[in-house]
Structure 1
Amino acid sequence: MYTMKWKKSDLHQYVNAKEYVDTIIIPLIPFQLSNDSVLEKDAFQREVLVAFSYELEKELTGRVLLTPNYNYLKSSHKDQEIVRINSWIDDIEQQPFNHIFYVTFDSTWKKNEQGMRGTLLWLPGVSDGTLQSNEMHSIIRSNVEQVSELIRSYWKD
């Protein structure tokens, strides 16, 4: 099996095996510099979500392609972001993907998920810690196991 992240060698493998890769994962990551009080928390959550996404892709190797992160301003209106996300999906749907999953710690997407083409997987955020700690690795691993089981349930349908 091989991993499929958004890099040249992985995309070469994807093109040669796309009939087996039917699922895409899009990490949704907020960004803002306007509020100093949450900069570190937001940066830490980004680090954790990226690590989680890589681990999830590795767990589901062979059937999943991990896109580049979808970055957006935290203060932006979600209805505008949904238009932008759906333009990504228009392009993605040119390939044979049957399942589209968004992963995020940002709970504000839940109120707008009906406009998204795909399945939103909201994870409770981690506000503090160290990415290298055993505890954080354990949290990420536990979330990967639960989410990968959920994604596999979609494959059975």
Structure 2
Amino acid sequence: MQWHKKDMDQYLQAKEYIDTIVMTLAPFQFSNDQELIKLTYQEELLHIFAAEITRELSGRTVQIPAYHYLKNSDKEIEISRMNEWIADCKKQPFAHFFILTFDAAWKKHEKALDGNLLWLPSVQLGDLHSKEMQQYIREQVMQISELIQSYWQNE
């Protein structure tokens, strides 16, 4: 399910079966021309990954809005804010919270997060609609979906 009214109406009717949140974690930095294209491309790709994972695991997952932060922001402040998001979501209750990111800097902070960080290696800029990229996305989605399902099995 996506963060759309129609999907949230559906969620409210079946929420006892939906126990997993998928959120993307994306840096924002408009002030750096060198990073601008790379960061926007990565955010587009993250959104595609999250949407495809949510579709692949439909019936148990909800994709919430992306969490954005300034690239050079204080990670401790961002961790506190993200953990507030997670705490609010877990009031529904959700048992699993997955955070997708291309930013490897978050790996050293993942233990402070109240969710599971899934770091994806960044990808070279390219056409998101090319056959090669579509195949890459499909392969990554399958692997991530299997990983999420392994968390479900270990409940």
TM-score class, shorter-chain normalisation, is over 0.9
Cα RMSD for the two superposed structures: 0.7
2:117 is equivalent to residue 152 of structure 1: no
Question: Counterpart of 1:30?
Answer: 27
Deviation track 1:46-65 (CA, whole Å, cap 9, x = no partner) reads 11111111101000000001
For residue 23 of structure 1, report the CA deviation from its aligned partner: 0.5
Which segments of 5 or more consecutive residues in structure 1 lack a partner in the other structure? none
- Judge conservation of contact 1:45–1:127 (CA < 8 Å) in 2: no
Runs of 4+ in structure 1 deviating by more than 4 angstroms, as ranges, are: none
Please say which of residues 69-78 and 144-153 is displaced more in the overlay: 69-78
For residue 115 of structure 1, report the CA deviation from its aligned partner: 0.6
Tell me, in whole angstroms, the C-alpha distance in 1 between the residues paired with 2:87 and 2:115.
12
For residue 127 of structure 1, report the CA deviation from its aligned partner: 2.9
- Judge conservation of contact 1:25–1:102 (CA < 8 Å) in 2: yes
Question: Counterpart of 2:3?
Answer: 6
Amino acid at match of 2:29: Q
2:45 is equivalent to residue 48 of structure 1: yes
TM-score scaled by structure 1? 0.96
2:115 is equivalent to residue 118 of structure 1: yes
Amino acid at match of 1:133: S
Tell me, in whole angstroms, the C-alpha distance in 1 between the residues paired with 2:64 and 2:28.
18
- Identical-residue share of aligned pairs (%): 52
Question: Counterpart of 1:109?
Answer: 106
